[in-house]
Amino acid sequence: MGLVGLSGNTVTVEVDISDGLPHYNLLGLPDAALNESRDRVRAALTNSGEVWPNRKVTVSLSPAWLPKSGSSFDLSIALSILVAHGALSQESIDRTLILGELALDGSIRGVNGVLPALIAGHREGITRAIIPVANIDEGALLQSMQVLAFSHIKDLLIYLRTGVGESAAPGEIDTGVQTLLDFEDVAGQARARFGAEVAAAGGHHLLLIGPPGAGKTMIASRIPTILPPLTIEQSLEVTALHSVAGTLSERSPMSRIAPIVAPHHSATRVAMVGGGAHLIRPGACSLAHHGVLFIDEAPECASGILDSLRQPLESGTITIARSIGNITFPSQFLLVLAANPCPCGKFTGKGLACSCSSLQVRRYLGKLSGPLMDRIDMRIAVEPVGRADISSQILGESSADIAKRVSAARALAKERFSGRGFALNSQIPARDLRSDFKPDRKAMAFLHDELDRERLTARGLHKVIRLSWTLSDLAGGHQPTLDDVTQAYSLREGGIS
Ligand SMILES: [Zn+2]
């Protein structure tokens, strides 16, 4: 299976062995890693007691136009050579999807992208697959397919020749929503906790501003615990993305918890949105699909990196242009940015400890401006935790309790928007905000007043209305009131000048 993005193309391996000087020829647009398969396959076979044909070996991977990369074709090439050589029957591997890299001693190594490859094979009507033991958890997700997993080519050959020696069985799959993180560990921080709840309920992107150690990361990392659990389809999609990227070890394959991905502020564009030289890998914004993308110290990001998130924020997908065509990965995430209040991080508003000039502060936060910030609905100040908060024995509200309100609010919004093609308040199109989804009369009068006084732009007005719907949903209301709107107004500004 050759993967292009998340979609797979069946690759057929043909081998011809003919008289002539010993030679090995690999046809069908292989990349460097695939070209080196000859040495791996040869060593693996001879070290497993098989005879290498000392004749002219031609291996053809078709379709020829499809660029093929990586080492996952090793195992299929090795088995095909044995068939051509008469050492293995054709029937034993007929209509079988074979994935695996070979080590020189013949052991079968795990490869990336097993789940999307199996899904693609299943769609083509293939009902049997041979995969590395290392990928067994992914293989077990496709219950409609006979998936055999082996760790050494010797064992695999015994099985194919005699039917004896069962493949390794997959372990128990963790489908739980258990995590060690919980909002009850966050002391104080009522405002930031509420901001996280609103973000989760309405899909509103969030900026947290506060000094180091105030708990920005603590709050952001707990947002997945209050988001609704993933559906099975969403979970498969997230797992497929992590499988292609090779980051599945960080996540249980069938975990229903929304993912959170936190790229460092020094991340490159490729790391953020995807790309790569041979194998096109999804970036952080796709690994955060259906979950949270958290960027700490966002003003430190190199210029252009944050703006590269505009496309996924607008369309929910990211497209990477390549000579063989465009590759599109899904990329729908909740964006949470965090920033210090000033370059030194000690800014308190009273200017006691901080040595930054007002120009430096403005410049620093000024980096968080432009088109991306138009997508951020809330700016929330995270204050350093006071002594009273820490010594308090009372735990904060638990994630489970907050999650109940989030899911009730989401249900209200979903029902309201049914048939319109969106489900979250943050997605209400601007044209609908002034017609179908207006707050009540008093609230609109207040907003028009703010517009007239030029304290609110048209864009700001839209954000306030979207936020006010989420506040209304969280309170179980039917239409945003003046209270909802004024609260939304202050969440948008965050009390930060
Ligand atoms: Zn400072």
Mean pLDDT (whole number) for 93-121: 93
Do 243 and 236 meet the contact criterion of CB atoms below 8 Å apart? no
Over residues 389-415, the pLDDT tens digits come to 666 666 789 999 999 999 999 999 999
Confidence at 387, pLDDT banded by 50, 70, 90: low
Which one-letter DSSP state was computed for residue 289? T
Ligand 1 centroid–CA 299 distance in Å is: 14
Q: Which of 222, 211, 193 is nearest to 294 (CA)?
A: 222
Over residues 443-474, the pLDDT tens digits come to 999 999 999 998 888 888 999 999 999 999 99
Mean pLDDT (whole number) for 271-300: 91
293 Cβ neighbours under 8 A, 6+ residues apart = 260, 261, 262, 263, 284, 285, 309, 333, 334, 335, 336
Type of residue at 444: M
HSE toward the beta carbon, residue 218, CA cutoff 13 A: 18
Type of residue at 367: K
Confidence at residue 153, expressed as pLDDT on a 0 to 100 scale: 96
Judged against a pLDDT cut of 50, whether residue 496 lies above it is answered with no
Confidence at residue 364, expressed as pLDDT on a 0 to 100 scale: 87
Judged against a pLDDT cut of 60, whether residue 83 lies above it is answered with yes
Judged against a pLDDT cut of 50, whether residue 213 lies above it is answered with yes
**Neighbouring residues of the ion ligand 1, judged by CB less than 5 Å:** 342, 344, 347, 354, 356
Mean pLDDT (whole number) for 87-108: 95
Q: Which of 108, 87, 90 is nearest to 99 (CA)?
A: 108
Confidence at 246, pLDDT banded by 50, 70, 90: confident
Mean pLDDT (whole number) for 353-370: 82
Ligand 1 centroid–CA 349 distance in Å is: 10
Do 240 and 248 meet the contact criterion of CB atoms below 8 Å apart? no
Burial code of 417-453, b = ≥16 C-beta within 10 A, e = fewer?
A: beeeeeebbbbbeeeebeeebebbeebbebbeebeee
Distance separating alpha carbons of residues 98 and 92, to the nearest angstrom: 12
Distance separating alpha carbons of residues 469 and 480, to the nearest angstrom: 6
Say how far residue 326 (Cα) sits from the centre of its chain.
19
Decide: helix, strand or coil at residue 15: strand
Mean pLDDT (whole number) for 159-168: 87
Task: Kindly report the average pLDDT of the chain as a whole number.
Answer: 88
Confidence at 279, pLDDT banded by 50, 70, 90: confident
Ligand 1 centroid–CA 259 distance in Å is: 33
How far CA 445 is from CA of 51, 377, 425, 437, 465, in Å, comes to 85, 21, 21, 15, 13
Confidence at residue 44, expressed as pLDDT on a 0 to 100 scale: 96
Do 220 and 193 meet the contact criterion of CB atoms below 8 Å apart? no
Distance separating alpha carbons of residues 149 and 138, to the nearest angstrom: 11
Confidence at residue 497, expressed as pLDDT on a 0 to 100 scale: 32
Ligand 1 centroid–CA 196 distance in Å is: 26
Among 273-277, 460-464, 479-483, name the one with the lowest average pLDDT.
Answer: 273-277
Mean pLDDT (whole number) for 264-291: 90
Q: Which of 249, 244, 200, 189 is nearest to 225 (CA)?
A: 200
Which one-letter DSSP state was computed for residue 377? E
Confidence at residue 481, expressed as pLDDT on a 0 to 100 scale: 95
Mean pLDDT (whole number) for 69-85: 93
Write phi, then psi, for 92 (nearest 5 degrees): -65, -20
Q: Which of 404, 422, 378 is nearest to 476 (CA)?
A: 404
Ligand 1 centroid–CA 359 distance in Å is: 11
Judged against a pLDDT cut of 60, whether residue 18 lies above it is answered with yes
Ligand 1 centroid–CA 380 distance in Å is: 18
Over residues 214-223, the pLDDT tens digits come to 889 999 999 9
Among 94-108, 157-171, 343-357, name the one with the lowest average pLDDT.
Answer: 343-357
Confidence at residue 141, expressed as pLDDT on a 0 to 100 scale: 82
- 357 exposed, middle or buried (CB, 10 Å; 0-12, 13-18, 19+)? exposed
Judged against a pLDDT cut of 80, whether residue 77 lies above it is answered with yes
Task: Give the position of tokens 């992590």.
Answer: 242
Confidence at residue 172, expressed as pLDDT on a 0 to 100 scale: 61
Ligand 1 centroid–CA 297 distance in Å is: 14
Ligand 1 centroid–CA 195 distance in Å is: 25
Say how far residue 296 (Cα) sits from the centre of its chain.
17
Ligand 1 centroid–CA 389 distance in Å is: 25
Confidence at 108, pLDDT banded by 50, 70, 90: very high
